[in-house]
Each structure stands twice: as structure tokens, then as C-alpha cells.
């Protein structure tokens, strides 16, 4: 029987394909089990959502009620409240009891619950609050929805763990600060409910937990960092070996380096390399295979990268290429600006800010880096 590809990207990573993060996993599990309100801050592609899923799965085995909602999946504040209420009410609740359960717990607004049982073996549930029309109605509905976790935990006599992913989106809803105040007022009363407020835009999340904001000192903060490169390299080579491929010395380290140690990008490059080597019928995977796969991937993405490059201003292109060649360091220095024929420091700063806003570049400690390591390699090899 042929082995399955051991590297996963583009979806929530199951425990078997999860690289490291043991310390973060145990800390997050312990905090949520204890009813803590945790803020998880992570750049995109670092495995935040997979870490949350692994944690909630473990807690569910301990009979903790678990709920996960992606805030960015809603197009409005009311839409978020409806999605959140629906997920809360449906947690470990038989569909046949959902309407009664909603009526028992929702004391001010009675939701309209629609159950579509036309699908084979499944029932689709949707919940809405058509009676909510005014801004005052929205405030009252929010207070009731935000109080639901405490009521559910008390009624079920079971603790809850709730993940609100892409939490920074809360600030973009109408009355952003008031939304944060209403949620903070509710969660601080819920001793049997643990929360993880997770966000992939670190600068926005840091502002949300700063002084003068409602969630200031509301709970512990976890900042997801890159995986130790040596441990990651060892893990990668072991995964190749486990599926019958002998990894040449240095393969893991090269994978981590080429993908800038961004977990998503590392898994992507490893996954594609594994597929190519298996398709070729070989039993050994080495650096030549890795670079062959990387070249193929860049060729497949060339049109996308070219269009993205063409949309940039000339100043932004110059800064982006300098950022790649200088590994994101000292971009404002006179030496770097002269070497790459860049404009003044203020112009470089403006270009960097624009690239960050477009999610092309992100901050990585003292340096800047591209959010997509494949695009970085394309710029290094295909632009001048």
C-alpha cells in the first residue's frame, strides 16, 4: 500500500502532521481548561488555526464543550452575532432540540431557526434575528449573545472553551470600541468558560490589548514564534524517512531556509517535493530534488507573480527587491539605499508601509520579510 504524503498545507493540520508547538499546545490547553481568556497573536501562515484545532480537540475529549468561530467570516456585526449564537447553541445539541434550546436560553430576542433536513443523512441549520432593526436592538442582542456561553456552561454543567479566530476583525464592526466593551464585560463574568482570542494581524491585535482599550490586561498573551529551525529540519527529514524516502544530509535545513521558516511555506515545499520524488519513482530525496520542485512551483506561479509585480509602483519594486536581497535588514540605511539606488529614507518607509498594507511584506522581529517565500525566490531570480 502506497504511503500518503506526510506534509499538509492549505488546511487545518491534524495532530499527526503537526510540527512541534508542544509547549504552546500544553500552555493553551491548560489556560483554556482553567477558564482563562487568552490572546493568541501570530503572523499568517504560522499554524495558529491548526494549534487552536488541536487544543479544542483535546479539550473535547475531556467533555469540555468547544466552539470555534472565525470572526472574519461575517460581513457585518449582526451577521457575526448570528453566526456566533448559532455555533454556541448547536454545540453538542441534537438538531431536534435546537429550537427549544434556543428559546430557553435567548431571553430577549427569540431567534428564527431554520432546519433543512433535505440532505442525505445531514441537517443544515441556520439562525437569524429578523426582529433586530435598530442600533439599540443590536446592542441588546450583543449583550444576550455574549452572555450565552455562561448560560450554556451552567445549564449543561460542563465547562466551555471558545475560539474566536481573526479576532482583530471585531474592531472593524460598527461601534468597534463598544463591541469590545460589551464582549469584555460579558466574558469577565464567565468563570467556567475559557476563551482564545486569536489574530493574524499582529499590529492590530497588539493595539487591541493596549492601555485604554477594553481588553487591556484581560488575560495572558501568547505570541506565536517561528519553530526552532534545527528541530523543524529534523522533523522534516524524519517524515520523509517514515514514508520510505531516504533524506540526504542537509535536506531539512535547506527546506527551512528556502521557505524562510514559515510553517505553511515549509510544509508546502516539502509536500510538493515529496510528490515529485514519488512520481519519479525514486527512493532518495536530496537538494537537487528540492530545487527542481522549487523551480517548477515558481514556473506555475509565474503569471500570478508577474501580475503582482506589475501592480507595484517603481519605488515599491525597488524596495521589495532590496528587501529580498538584504534579507529585510537596514533598509533605511544610506549604504543599502545607495547600493540599490533607492530614494530617501522617508520614501522607502512609505513603500514598506504600502507593501505591509497589501500583505506582501510583514514584520519579523528586527527585519521585514515577504509573506510568501515562493514570491521571494521569484523576485530574487527573475527581477533586476
Q: How far, in Å, are 198, 249, 333, 352 from residue 307 at the CA level?
A: 32, 37, 30, 19
In a domain, 4, yes or no: no
In a domain, 11, yes or no: no
Mean pLDDT of 202-212: 91
Same domain, 213 and 96: yes
Cα–Cα distance for residue pair 221/206, rounded to 1 Å: 10
Is the four-CA dihedral 248, 249, 251, 254 of positive or negative sign? negative
Cα–Cα distance for residue pair 149/166, rounded to 1 Å: 19
pLDDT (tens digit, 9 = 90+) per residue, 332-346? 999 999 999 999 999
Contact 248, 284 (CB under 8 A): yes
Q: What are phi and psi of 195, to 5 degrees?
A: -125, 140
Same domain, 314 and 359: yes
pLDDT (tens digit, 9 = 90+) per residue, 90-102? 898 888 788 888 8
84 is written with which cell numbers? 456566533
Confidence at residue 20, expressed as pLDDT on a 0 to 100 scale: 67
In a domain, 206, yes or no: yes
Banded model confidence at residue 288, pLDDT cuts 50, 70, 90: very high
Q: Which domain holds residue 314?
A: 303-382
pLDDT (tens digit, 9 = 90+) per residue, 116-141? 766 665 667 888 998 898 989 999 99
Confidence at residue 371, expressed as pLDDT on a 0 to 100 scale: 92
Confidence at residue 8, expressed as pLDDT on a 0 to 100 scale: 87
pLDDT (tens digit, 9 = 90+) per residue, 31-73? 999 999 999 999 888 989 999 999 999 999 999 999 999 999 9
Q: What percent of the chain has pLDDT over 70?
A: 95
Same domain, 339 and 198: no
In a domain, 313, yes or no: yes
Indicate if the pLDDT at residue 364 is higher than 80: yes
In a domain, 207, yes or no: yes
Confidence at residue 178, expressed as pLDDT on a 0 to 100 scale: 87
Confidence at residue 158, expressed as pLDDT on a 0 to 100 scale: 95
Confidence at residue 117, expressed as pLDDT on a 0 to 100 scale: 66
Mean pLDDT of 203-214: 92
Same domain, 160 and 210: yes
Banded model confidence at residue 291, pLDDT cuts 50, 70, 90: very high
Give how many domains the chain has, as a whole number: 3
Confidence at residue 19, expressed as pLDDT on a 0 to 100 scale: 66
pLDDT (tens digit, 9 = 90+) per residue, 141-179? 999 999 999 999 999 999 999 999 999 999 888 766 889
Please give the model's pTM, rounded to 2 decimal places: 0.85
Maximum Cα interatomic distance, the chain, rounded to a whole number of Å: 70
* Average predicted confidence (pLDDT) for the chain: 91
DSSP E strand boundaries for 268-374 = 284-285, 361-364, 367-370
pLDDT (tens digit, 9 = 90+) per residue, 215-256? 999 999 999 988 999 999 999 999 999 999 999 999 999 999
Q: What's the distance, CA 230 to chain centroid?
A: 23
Same domain, 325 and 284: no
Unique residue bearing C-alpha cell 470572526:
71
Same domain, 98 and 240: no
Confidence at residue 104, expressed as pLDDT on a 0 to 100 scale: 85
β-partners of residue 38 are 196
Amino acid at each position: 500500500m502506497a504511503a500518503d504524503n506526510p506534509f499538509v498545507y492549505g488546511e487545518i493540520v491534524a495532530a499527526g502532521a503537526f510540527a512541534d508547538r508542544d509547549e504552546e499546545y500544553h500552555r493553551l490547553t491548560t489556560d483554556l481548561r482553567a477558564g482563562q481568556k487568552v490572546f493568541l497573536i501570530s503572523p499568517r501562515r504560522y499554524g495558529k488555526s491548526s494549534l487552536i484545532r488541536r487544543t479544542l480537540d483535546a479539550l473535547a475529549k475531556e467533555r469540555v464543550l468547544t466552539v470555534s468561530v472565525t470572526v472574519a467570516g461575517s460581513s457585518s456585526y449582526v451577521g457575526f452575532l448570528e453566526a456566533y449564537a448559532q455555533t454556541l447553541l448547536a454545540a453538542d445539541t441534537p438538531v431536534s432540540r435546537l429550537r427549544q434550546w434556543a428559546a430557553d436560553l435567548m431571553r430577549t430576542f427569540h431567534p428564527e431557526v431554520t432546519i433543512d433536513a433535505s440532505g442525505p443523512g445531514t441537517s443544515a441549520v441556520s439562525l437569524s434575528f429578523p426582529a433586530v432593526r435598530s442600533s439599540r436592538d443590536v446592542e441588546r442582542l450583543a449583550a444576550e449573545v455574549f452572555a450565552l456561553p455562561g448560560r450554556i456552561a451552567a445549564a449543561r454543567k460542563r465547562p466551555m472553551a471558545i475560539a474566536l479566530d481573526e479576532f482583530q476583525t471585531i474592531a472593524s464592526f460598527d461601534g468597534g470600541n463598544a463591541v469590545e466593551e460589551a464582549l469584555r464585560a460579558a466574558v469577565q463574568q464567565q468563570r467556567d468558560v475559557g476563551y482564545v482570542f486569536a489574530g493574524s494581524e499582529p499590529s492590530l491585535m497588539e493595539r487591541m490589548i493596549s492601555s485604554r482599550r477594553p481588553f487591556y490586561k484581560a488575560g495572558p498573551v501568547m505570541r506565536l514564534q517561528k519553530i526552532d529551525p534545527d528541530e523543524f529540519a529534523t522533523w522534516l527529514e524524519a517524515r520523509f524517512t517514515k514514508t520510505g524516502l531516504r533524506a540526504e544530509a542537509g535536506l531539512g535545513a535547506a527546506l527551512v531556509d528556502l521557505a524562510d521558516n514559515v510553517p505553511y511555506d515549509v510544509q508546502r515545499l516539502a509536500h510538493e517535493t515529496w510528490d515529485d520524488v514519488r512520481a519519479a519513482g525514486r527512493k532518495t530525496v536530496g537538494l537537487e530534488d528540492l530545487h527542481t520542485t522549487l523551480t517548477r512551483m515558481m514556473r506555475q506561479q509565474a503569471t500570478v507573480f508577474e501580475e503582482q509585480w506589475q501592480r507595484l509602483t517603481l519605488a515599491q519594486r525597488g524596495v521589495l527587491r532590496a528587501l529580498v536581497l538584504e534579507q529585510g535588514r537596514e533598509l533605511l540605511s544610506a549604504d543599502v539605499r545607495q547600493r540599490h539606488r533607492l530614494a530617501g529614507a522617508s520614501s522607502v518607509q512609505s513603500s514598506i508601509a504600502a507593501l505591509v498594507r497589501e500583505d506582501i511584506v510583514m514584520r519579523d522581529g528586527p527585519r521585514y520579510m515577504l509573506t510568501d517565500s515562493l514570491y521571494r525566490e521569484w523576485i530574487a531570480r527573475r527581477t533586476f
